[in-house]
Amino acid sequence: MLHRIEGEQLVKAVDLNGHLVRLKIQPAADTAMLLIEFPQNEPPEIRTAAACYVREWFGLDEDLEPFYAMARKDPLLAPVVSAHRGLRLIGIPDLFEALAWAIIGQQINLPFAYTMKKRLVETYGEALPGEDPWSGPERFFPRPDVIAALTPDDLRPLQFSGRKAEYVIGVAQLLEEGRLSKRSLLRMEAAEARETLLAIRGVGAWTADYVGMKCLRHPSAFPAADAGLHQALKIGLGLGRKPLPAEIEQAAAGWRGFEAMATFYLWQSLL
DNA sequence: AACCAGGGAAGAT
DNA sequence: ATCTTCCATGGT
């Protein structure tokens, strides 16, 4: 799989400037630090790249206090941040993975979406040598050039609908052709990046904001139409039904600048 | 069986 | 511009 948990260790294969390494990440005892373990001696620049990767993946450079100061005064968020104190927004640093995962998750239940992603990774993702007897080898998320060469019929056996297959392949082709890149999106203002994403077939407001949250780390990205967010509001506000657009707007009125964190914490409250 | 699920495109008005 | 329909599939 893409990553696995082994006791206290999180294991993931990552591509660091062309170096394919298996990282083992675990909390360092009695400190607030993380320990990153390498299988063999890697040069210092790769160790640094690994640290940067982990910092971005888990948003370690973000100061949570301003968000907490806001959330403590918000009756909906207060109990959620209290229950998950210290949690950071777990990102999806790779743009193709973020877009593909968002498209896969459109309009289907989450367990099935995970199954589809797993099939995609195990069918088209490159394996890192060395195998775990139970979970199989660590795999990388499929490279855009591999998916770009497929036709929708190739993905049908994985139970992709024709549309999902078209969307994912189309995004892979944009990336492979260099007409879309995370680097260029990060150079733009958040609103411009959002418009760029919305122009892609298969990417609507929800997907653009999801990618803004999880990949570009735009603090104000807010997938207001998200079904999980609606579920959290239904429960948190005791509505007994899905919230109306006006109720969502009212709930989020005080979240300015922290919409992404608020949404992420509310998703956590559903687990 | 009906409705929902971490929507979006295409067509209709 | 905004509303409606269709897309596909598994879970509850």
pLDDT given at position A132: 65
Nearest to A258, CA basis, from A56, A102, A88, A60: A88
Closest residue to C7 (CA, C1′): A163
Rounded, the Å distance between the CA of A109 and C1' of B10 is 24
pLDDT of residue A37: 85
A234 CB contact with strand C at below 7 Å: no
Global pTM reads 0.95
Question: Beta carbon of A227 within 7 Å of strand B?
Answer: yes
pLDDT in 10s for each residue of chain A, 271 residues = 788 888 889 999 988 888 888 999 999 887 888 888 877 778 888 889 999 999 999 999 999 999 999 999 999 999 999 999 999 999 999 999 999 999 999 999 999 999 999 999 999 999 987 766 666 788 999 999 999 999 999 999 999 999 999 999 999 999 999 999 999 999 999 999 999 999 999 999 999 999 999 999 999 999 999 999 999 999 998 888 889 888 999 999 999 999 999 999 999 999 8
Contact A134, A220 (CB under 8 A): no
Distance CA A182, CA A155 (A): 25
User: A164 CA, B4 C1': separation in Å?
Assistant: 19
Per the structure, the residues numbered 68 to 127 in protein chain A that have their CB within 7 angstroms of any atom of strand C are 107-109, 111-112, 115
Instruction: Decide if A15 is catalytic.
Output: no
Residue that has been written with the tokens 């210290």 in this structure: A86
The reply to whether A203 has its C-beta less than 7 Å from any atom of strand B is: yes
Tell me how far CA of residue A63 lies from CA of A88, A105, A225, in angstroms: 9, 29, 27
Phi-psi region of A86 (alpha: psi -120 to 50; beta: other; left: phi over 0): left
Distance in angstroms (rounded) separating the CA atoms of residues A255 and A249: 10
What are the CA-CA distances from residue A123 to residues A2, A111, A141 (Å)? 12, 18, 10
Question: What is the distance between the alpha carbons of residues A166 and A21, in angstroms, rounded to a whole number?
Answer: 31
pLDDT of residue A4: 86
Residue of least CA–C1' distance to C12: A109
Name the β-bridge partners of A25: A10, A36
Q: Across chain A, how many H-helices and E-strands are there?
A: 14, 6
Report the distance separating Cα A235 and Cα A267, nearest Å: 12
With H, G, I as helix, E, B as strand and everything else as coil, classify residue A92.
Answer: coil
Kindly determine whether the C-beta of residue A196 is less than 7 Å away from any atom of nucleic acid strand C.
Answer: no
Residue A244 Cβ < 7 Å to strand B = no
Q: Which nucleotides of B are covered by protein (CB under 7 A)?
A: 4-10
Confidence at residue A2, expressed as pLDDT on a 0 to 100 scale: 84
